[in-house]
Structure 1
Amino acid sequence: MILHITPRDSWPAAEITAASLESEGFMHCSDPGTVHLPANRLFAGRTDLVLLEIDPALVGVPVRWEPGVPAIENGPWFPHVYGPIPAKAVVAVHDFVPGPTGEFELPEPLAKR
């Protein structure tokens, strides 16, 4: 599974898209071990987010594991989705709010896996 952070009011939708699809040619996603990195860097303080759990086999467009943007030397690679994500590929939706320390953590249902 891969994960995509989006505002709560953007879901549900027939397909998921992001501004980066037009500007960079792909949508940024993460895996359970890395989702906190972009969340804390890009969405600090936001309480209006959900985390979409996506089955990459159902996306229907290329998913490539590549360095983050901006790349971090010896840093993790992230799944980049090269097209919109159809709603049928979303297998679960999790509230995604900062924890008590103000930082994002993997939602408990995902952390238990």
Structure 2
Amino acid sequence: MSIIYHIVPAADWVRYENEPVYEAASLQTEGFIHLSTKEQVDGTLSRYYQNVPDLLLLHVDTDKLAYELKYEPSTNDELFPHVYGPLNKEAIVTIQRLN
């Protein structure tokens, strides 16, 4: 089992509470959902989520993903995980409150 992570404001997550999948806004605008490895989470939080209250960290099992996962160059040419479709909830093994 390999775990990757997705950061989401709790208010966004609640909109998908009764749905079988979660769709981040980036799925519509960029065609994929941004995720991070464990080592990338802190950098992602500091770059994109400073002063954003009530965040959740979704722990995602890559073996359970229903859509394609690609590691692609992004910030600082690091390879970040991207899921090319909605995030099926069966792949989410833990939801952690960050603040």
Q: Fold match, TM over 0.5?
A: yes
- Report how far residue 60 of structure 1 moved: 1.1
- Report how far residue 51 of structure 1 moved: 0.1
Q: Does 1:66 align with 2:66?
A: no
- State which of 37, 40, 62 in structure 2 corresponds to 1:34: 40
Fraction of identical pairs, as percent:
33
Alignment partner, residue 83 of structure 1: 85
Alignment partner, residue 28 of structure 2: 22
| Secondary structure of residue in 2 paired with 1:34 | helix
| Secondary structure of residue in 2 paired with 1:40 | helix
Alignment partner, residue 52 of structure 2: 46
The residue type equivalent to 1:93 in the other structure is I
Contact 1:34 1:76 in 2 (8 A): no
- Report how far residue 14 of structure 1 moved: 2.3
- Report how far residue 47 of structure 1 moved: 2.2
Structure 1 unaligned residues grouped into runs of 5+? 98-113
- Report how far residue 89 of structure 1 moved: 0.7
Q: Which has the higher strand share?
A: 2
Q: Which has the higher helix share?
A: 2
Compute the TM-score of the two structures, normalised by the length of structure 1: 0.76
Compute the TM-score of the two structures, normalised by the length of structure 2: 0.85
Instruction: Please tell me whether Structure 1 or Structure 2 has the larger radius of gyration of its CA atoms.
Output: 1
- Report how far residue 87 of structure 1 moved: 0.9
RMSD: 1.3
The residue type equivalent to 1:37 in the other structure is G
